[in-house]
Structure 1
Amino acid sequence: MIMDSVKLYTAMLPEKLLPFYREVLGLPVIESAEDRFTVQAGYSSLTFVYQDSEEEAPYYHFAINIPENKLDEAKRWIESKVELGTENGTDISYSELWDSHSVYFFDPAGNILELIARHTMDNAVDRPFDPKRDLLGISEMGLPTKDVPRAVDELEALGIPTYKRRDPVFNPVGNEEGIFIVVSPGRRWHFTDLTADCFPFQANVKGIGLLSLEEGESGLIIRKESATK
C-alpha cells in the first residue's frame, strides 16, 4: 500500500512548523501558504493544514521507511538534531513480529515521527545514509478508532488487508510500503508518554483512492473519492 499523499491538521502556525521539516529533516518544500504547507518525503507528499480550534490540538503518529540496513546511521543523523524517545533504557525499538528497527522523535507540534528499517524489505543500499535519498516514504499512519474490528473490516473491503495478524485493539492493515495502524484510543504510543487519540486526516492510497478518515459516534467514518493511478 503506497500512500502517495497524506494531509494532517495542526494547531501550530505553518510558519513555525515548516522549518522543522525543511531544515531539520531537509525535506523539499512543494507548497507553502499562510494556512498550509506541503513537503516531499520520498514517494509521499505530506501536507499540514492549520486548524485554529479551542479543542485539543491534533497530533498524529506516522513512520517513514528507510533502507533496511541504515538504522544506525539514520539514528546518528537524527539524534544530532532532536531528542529521541526512550523506553526501558534504550532509544532503539525492535519488533520481532515485523522484523524491524525504529527510532522515535517529536516534531514541534507534538506529532510522533518514526524512522523504521524493515528487514523484510529488499531495499538495502551500499553507501552512506543520505536523508535526501533514504527517507523513502510515509509507511505508517496511526489510525485510532473505538471499534477496531469494524474499521478493519471496512478497510479490508476497500482492498487493504490485515498485516501480520488480526487483533481487536491493535490491527495494522496494508503492507511494508504502507500501513494504517488501527488502534484503540488510549493505547500508549511506543517510546512516548502520549496515548492514541482520534483526529481526522486524509491519505491518497495508490490504486484505491483518496480516503478521508475521521471518528464518528460509533467508530471510524471512511469517505472515498476517485481512484488513483
Structure 2
Amino acid sequence: MKLLHIDSSILGAHSVSRELSRATVQRLKDLNPETDVAYRDLVAAPVPHLTGEHLTASPAVAQEIALGEEILDEFMSADVIVIGVAFYNLTISSQLKAWIDRIVIAGKTFRYTATGVEGLARDKRIILAVARGGQYRHGGSLVPCEHAEAYLRSMFAFIGVTRIEAVVAEGLSLSEARKQSGKEAAFEAISALAPCCVHRGAA
C-alpha cells in the first residue's frame, strides 16, 4: 500500500495537526507494516501558487510545471492520503490550497461529460487530521463558518474520492481543559481507524 502524508501547518513542532497526522500515519503503518510512505511538507517546501504563466505553460515556469506534474503523479499513485489540516481564518492554509490546485486538474482527476462532472481519482482513501481553535461541530454557532474540512470533503468528492474520513481536535484555544479533551477525542478516533483495503479499479 502506498501512503502519501501531507502537512500544512506553519507551527512546526507546536502544531497539533502535525501531531495528529503523524499519529494517523503511524496507526496505518501499525495495521499494515508494509506501507510505503511518501511525505510532503508544504511549509518546508512550499508549492508555488498558480499564475497566468502556468496556464500558458510559459518557459519561465518550466521547473514549477514539472513540480506540479510530480505532485499530481505522487497523489495519483497513492492509495491513502493523510493530510494534516491547519485551520486558519476559517479555512485551510494557503500552502494547502496551492497543493490542491496542482491535483485538481481537468482531464487528469476530473472531467466534464454530457451528464455532469466525473471524478477520475477513484479508489483512494483520504484521512483529514484537522486541528481547530474553536468549536465548529455539534450544532454550535460556528458550524456555518467551517470552510476547511467542509471544503476538502467537497473538493475530494468532486474528483471522485468517496472514502473521506476526518480525525478532529477542536476547541484547542478555548481553555487548557478543552484543548486536552479535544486532543484526546482525536487520538481516540485515530486508534479506531480501520485497516486500509486497496481495491484498484479502472481509472
TM-score (norm 1): 0.25
Question: Does 1 or 2 have the higher relative contact order (CA < 8 Å, sep 6+)?
Answer: 2
* The structure with more strand, counted as a fraction of residues: 1
Q: TM-score, normalised by structure 2?
A: 0.27
User: Structure 1 or 2: larger helix share?
Assistant: 2
